[in-house]
Structure 1
Amino acid sequence: MVDLHNGMLFDEKVLTTPDDPSLGVIKGVKKILETNNIHASKLKHIIHGTTLVANAIIQRRGSKVALITSQGFRDIQEIGTESRYDTYDLFMKMPAPLVTRRWRFEVPERIGPDGQVITILDESKVIDVARAIASSDVDAIAVSLLHSYQNPNHERRIREILQHESPDIIVCISSDVMPEIGEYERTSTTICNAYVLPAFTRYLARLTNRFHEMGVNKDLYLMLSDGGTVHESTAAIYPIRLVQSGPAGGVQAAAAINKITDNEDNQGNILCFDMGGTTAKACLVEDGKPMHANEFEVARIFRGKKGSGIPLKIPVIEMIEIGAGGGSIAHLDNLGLIQVGPESAGADPGPACYGLGGQKATVTDADLILGYLAADNFLGGDIQLDIEASKTVVKNTIASPLGLSVVDAAWAIHETVNESMGQAAAIHALEKAKRITDYTMIPIGGAGPVHACNIALKLNLSLLICP
């Protein structure tokens, strides 16, 4: 929270509430207001960043979706672009389609690349499909027709028929969600939007209602994946544009911090290092402006392998996933080597040191054992960490099998994470024809500052700014 009159900044942190994330948001807002003796009615603006959309896709916790597409394009999710992220892997895995084949429907119609109608839409077939969906438990429908970005009339007519047959069902058409060339990416983006929309609108409704109950009389704005903001009414229609909402807000904050820092060495070049509970991401900021892209992949099968995820065609701040997060679980692979992630303990049960029943060693447990975290001052002293629980799980899962002391095992976990993140950040800079040593690191996220110094040393960075 920032005071616009004097520029003072206030912050608080609370644990995530996985069953209902809005409760955690409200708890945090109430806490920061009560701590600083400020009434909710005095708030002028509320901007919310969230990872809810990305997590729903990654964890497959979205709604049941049906797809309506042009005749002959029912299997576009599997066909994709026919590119392979690993040319020689005979057993290459791809993300399972969000819409099963049973719920993909074709309708006779065709629009040419110039927008001219080649085959008129068969409305009787659309009515049959609409009635079949209406009698099912499908929550949302994605409509993506060939070349609809040039002529959306067929998609709009399908939406009218669907809403007539099932007034309560959610319908997303690709010419609204992403009116651009590229049938595979456009279809994928529309499906993902429909997949998360029911859950996201319910979340948004709960959140806004609870804000109003608190006495907040201002509209809610949300952070977009490209670093901009959008009104809650628009976010409720196109939630897929918020897939990188949380990390994008952090990058914007890092760029703002750099502008007010007296620093002549980096000429505005920043390596924004964001390490949260599940993953770590990096973003290069040049001359105070983050790099942007028009494509993004979510739910990758293999970290760092482009093409192994679900493609989205949305404007985003270009961030790459470079490693694990504080809640990522450490384990031994088949060769007896320490690996960290991608599985995460999350907030429930969380790391063993939380005392909520976690039985697996995490990065946070290792950091606590090494003294990077204070057991009696976590979250400003609001949570007491159990260092003995951390020692027990690290001993049982890593130290004893490898014949190491608990401290050495914790250091091995810590170093494994740092080394992989440092290498990934350096490679990302090289791919952009940049030298990583020309950048100043600004760490964000819950675990970012804990690992920032060691990673900066590995990258030979001359300056690190920790807000």
Structure 2
Amino acid sequence: MRIGVDIGGTFTDLCVIGPDGILAVGKTLTTPDEPARAVEEVIAQTLERIDIPARDITGFVHGTTLVTNALIERRGSATALLATQGFRDVLEMAREHRYELHDLMVELPKPLVPRHLRFGVTERTLAGGQIEQPLDTDEVRSLARELTEHGIEAIAIAFLHSFSNDANEQAAREVIEQEAPGIRIALSSKVAPEIREYERTSTTVANVYVQDITERYLADLGERSARLGIPREPHIMLSNGGLATLQTAARFPIRMLESGPAGGALAAAWYGARAGWDDVLAFDMGGTTAKLCMVEGGVPLVNHEFEVDRVYRLSPGSGLPVKVPVIDMIEIGVGGGSIARIDALGLLSVGPRSAGSKPGPACYGLGGTEPTVTDADLVLGYLDPDYFLGGQMALDVSAARTAIEAKIATPLGISVEEAAWGIHSMVNGDMANAARVHAVERGKDPAGLPLFTFGGAGPVHGVGVATALGAAQMIAPPAAGVMSAVGFLTAPVAFDFARSARARLDDVDVAEFQRMFAQMEAEGRDLLTESGVEGSDIEHTRSADLRFEGQGFEVRVPVPDDVTDRWPQSLLEAHHAAYTQLYGAQIPDVPVEVITWRVVSSGPQPEVNLALDDSSSDPTTEPRAHRDVYLPESGFARTPVYERYALPIGANVEGPAIIEERESTIVVTPGATAAVADDYSVVVDLTKEPAHG
């Protein structure tokens, strides 16, 4: 038996699986002041409820928003930066790009290291890796003493072209370790050995900035896990969809940025493949944000650059860049706790500000007074005030109505119900627009993709979003409310490696790049062996970033394992195919060059069964209740409410209907039909026209 635990902005989620499928799920409010406490509580409560001793748990996988929150809230260590002389301001100069060209008051991301803690030191490495100026060790020694005296806790070292030759960075680390043995040090040649000075420096700074808080958290997590009696240390979910040990995650905390959302994307791929859909659009809506991810060919798409703490959430270039592999997704600032308001133009607006878990939506009764998406869904009858979290948490309908009336309905001169529907439908429209852009940018038609919906609020809004996209199906898997935690359990132990080394394809030294791949694969083998993976079970996947000569950005293509005379030609053909899919055109007679070579080292994919193993002993297709639910075509109507896990496999439910489970609720609109699949997923068919009147 294995468990997955995901810390979100509002709730901490848990899933327990055994050989026959999902045994139990759990959910509790996140404890921001002490995140590992909520993890310990939800594990203890759930295992006690299902009468399973902790000693029987053979695996524990965990994902968290800790690193992201620490960067956003600037709660990291006092950090200094050592850069090549003349390059200390790369963090502030960035790309010299205005993400809003015509905004004279444009805000740029604030560097994690202020200027007075950024230092240029004497050294120089050329682009080809030749050392033109050795490191001035006396200068670094003096700086190390001064920084220690002033309470600096961490140092990032990012020298020019160190990805080609890291000798000067290694020399700087040795000097600092001699003079200040207690200080944390991060080398850009270890954290992100790739081209683009700004991104590499930003990533290195971010990594060491959060290292202390991450190490302390992971140590606390390990201690609590051992105290519960779980025999094995937790594995940590990384942003790329792979797992790492506590020790590896503590060394490279920046790799944990999007660990929670990565689990949901993996779950979408798992369920989609078993339902016969290799391409799906995954939609995760929790308490704070919603996320969308493309699954293509049964695998979530991965990007090797990400931005955190954007000044404007949907504006690329307004955040801090990090060059780490992350599952490619778009985040929208709307979740169940997102606050609705009237903006300066007198129009309704929702998010990105969230009520979080404290005080939470007004209906939680924990002191919140602002109207949120959850309050609107409750007023519309989509949520049962007595069955939220299976009745563990009662919701206050009156408080929700009061908040919506005071802040939305009265200022707009409309009814509370109209205001609530406005909030609900605006959220659906915003998410559909973002999903459409995300899919089209990747060469996909969103109308041709099933919408895989999860998160506590996802199934409530899923049919609305799918309808707005023109999608034919919406799928809500079992345990949809804790799907990121479920997805953790499908992930292998894996780690990414990269080396930037520019070369034209028609002049590639194949033997040299074979040696580079072999070096990265050896590092991966060592790392995975330390994590307990058998050497014979380790696989390596090669890829490369290619571009037309003179272009500024690359496309990624697979690199064949077999080296033949056609090796460069096969890369060229793969580049042209990928470029055409993305941009619909080619640039004739322009040479192609390789910029970065990559390896993913991974252990075996775990064999898991994520079908439900907790169906009702008394299956029925009869509704367990009826309640008034708002339908935009006709207003409130008496609507049947079904217990999700009492519905047998093969059951069909005609909309309008509500299908409830402990952690989530599916809203089936008029004209749609919901069917229960073999794994207890609910597949909603949207191809029928809704009845009006």
TM-score scaled by length of structure 1: 0.96
SS at the partner of 1:255?
A: helix
Letter in 2 for 1:283: C
Aligned 8 A contact 1:294 1:316 in 2? yes
2:396 aligned with 1:361: no
Hey, what does 1:128 align to over in structure 2?
Answer: 142
Percent identity (aligned): 49
TM-superposed deviation, 1:322: 3.3
**Matched residue type, 2:36:** S
1:164-183 matched pairs, under 5 angstroms: 164-183=178-197
1:18 touches 1:348 (CA, 8 Å); kept in 2?
Answer: no
Partner of 2:416: 406
Asked whether 1:216 is paired with 2:226, we answer no
Q: 1:385 aligns with which of 395, 400, 414?
A: 395
* 1:159-214 alpha-carbon deviations (Å, 9 max, x no partner): 22222222222111111111111111100001111121111111111110011111
For 2:328, the equivalent position in structure 1 comes to: 318
Q: Which residue of 1 aligns with 2:294?
A: 284
Match for residue 374 of structure 1 among 370, 384, 393 = 384
Indicate the SS of the match to 1:11.
strand
- Give the Cα separation in 2 of the matches to 1:39 and 1:53: 31
Which residue identity lines up with residue 292 of structure 1 in the other structure?
Answer: V
Residue 11 in structure 1 maps to residue 21 in structure 2: no
Please state how far the C-alpha of 1:388 moved relative to its aligned partner.
1.4
User: Secondary structure of 2:251's partner?
Assistant: coil
Per the alignment, in what secondary structure is the counterpart of residue 391 of structure 1?
helix
State the Cα RMSD in Å: 1.3
Q: Which amino acid aligns with 2:296?
A: E
Structure 1 Cα separation of the partners of residues 54 and 333 of structure 2: 38
2:461 to 451, 456, 461: 451
Match of 1:109 among 120, 123, 132: 123
Match of 2:157 in 1: 143
**1:432-457 Cα shifts (integer Å, max 9, x gaps):** 22110111111122221121111111
Superposed CA deviations along residues 280-305 of structure 1, whole A, max 9, x for unmatched, are 11011122111111111111111221
Rounded Cα–Cα distance in structure 1 between residues aligned with 2:444 and 2:319: 26
**Which of the pair is proportionally richer in helix?**
1
Contact 1:323 1:421 in 2 (8 A): no
Tell me how far 1:126 sits from its aligned partner. Answer: 0.7
Alpha-carbon distance between aligned partners in 2 of 1:61 and 1:330, rounded to the nearest angstrom: 28
What is aligned with 1:337? 347
Distance 1:155 1:379 in 2: 52
* Alpha-carbon shift at residue 2 of structure 1 (Å): 4.3
Q: Any idea what the Cα deviations from partners look like across 1:62-112, whole Å, max 9, x if unmatched? A: 222111111111111111122221222222111111111111111111111
Q: 2:93 aligns with which of 72, 79, 92?
A: 79
Task: Answer yes or no: is 1:88 the counterpart of 2:102.
Answer: yes
Deviations 1:375-426 (Å, cap 9, x if unpaired)?
1111111111112111111111111111121111111111111111111111
Cα contact 1:323–1:420 (8 A) shared by 2: no
Q: Which residue of 1 aligns with 2:608?
A: none
Indicate conservation of the 8 Å contact 2:371/2:403, yes or no: yes
Cα distance in structure 1, aligned partners of 2:129 and 2:95: 22
Q: Does the CA contact (< 8 Å) of 2:225 and 2:233 recur in 1?
A: no
2:274 is the counterpart of 1:260: yes
Give the corresponding residue for 1:430: 440
Equivalent residues of 2:333, 2:353 under 8 A apart: no
2:8: which partner in 1? none
Larger radius of gyration: 2
Q: Residue 110 of structure 1 contacts residue 120 of structure 1 at CA under 8 Å; is this kept in 2?
A: yes
CA distance in 2 between counterparts of 1:158 and 1:444 reads: 48
Aligned match of 1:352 in 354, 362, 377? Answer: 362
The residue type equivalent to 1:372 in the other structure is: Y
Distance in 1 between the 2:131 and 2:422 partners? 63
User: Which blocks of at least 5 consecutive residues in structure 1 are unaligned?
Assistant: none
One-letter amino acid of the counterpart of residue 148, structure 1: S
Q: In structure 2, the residue corresponding to 1:429 is in which secondary structure?
A: helix
Structure 1 pair 424–36 and aligned structure 2 pair: CA distance change class (3 A): same
* Structure 2 unaligned residues grouped into runs of 5+: 1-14, 478-693
Question: Does structure 2 conserve the Cα–Cα contact (< 8 Å) formed by 1:323 and 1:417?
Answer: no
Normalized per residue, which structure has more strand? Answer: 2
Q: Which amino acid aligns with 2:225?
A: F
CA distance in 2, matches of 1:377, 1:102: 55
Q: Tell me the distance in 1 between the aligned counterparts of 2:453 and 2:40.
A: 25
SS at structure 2 position matched to 1:233: helix
Preserved CA contact (<8 Å) 1:139 1:170: yes
2:299 maps to a residue whose letter is K
Q: Would you say how many aligned residue pairs link Structure 1 and Structure 2?
A: 463
Secondary structure at the counterpart of residue 284 of structure 2:
strand
- Pair 1:300 & 2:314 matched: no
Query: Aligned AA for 1:393?
Result: A
Deviation of the 1:323 alpha carbon: 4.1
Query: Whole-Å Cα distance in 1 between the matches of residues 51 and 339 of structure 2?
Result: 39
Q: TM-score, normalised by structure 2?
A: 0.65
